[in-house]
Amino acid sequence: MDGEIPDMAHPRKTVSENNLLTRLIFPEFFGVPHQIDATFRMDAEYTIGMTEVRSIRKRLYDSTCRGRALE
């Protein structure tokens, strides 16, 4: 289980490191946000910084809203 943590929504499954960044950026899409591993959050905040996470969230949210407005 090196490099993986338990999936909080499905305790028997694991989540690859590639999906952990997605979990940090969009926690609301993975069940209850507060169940996301706090240690991972701290590691990710240290690694990429919350400024970058907020920036990515805002850009994706803005582009999604614009896309919906055009429909």
Q: What is the pLDDT of residues 7-66, one digit of tens each?
A: 555 555 555 555 666 666 666 565 544 445 555 555 555 555 566 667 777 777 676 666
Give the per-residue pLDDT at 42. Answer: 56
Q: Does the structure show a pLDDT above 70 at 1? A: no
**Domain parsing of the chain, residue ranges:** 1-29
The model's pTM is 0.27
Q: Does the structure show a pLDDT above 60 at 5? A: no
Q: Does the structure show a pLDDT above 70 at 6? A: no
Distance CA 35, CA 32 (A): 6
**Residues contacting 30, CB < 8 A, separation 6+:** 8, 9, 23, 36
Give the per-residue pLDDT at 55. Answer: 73
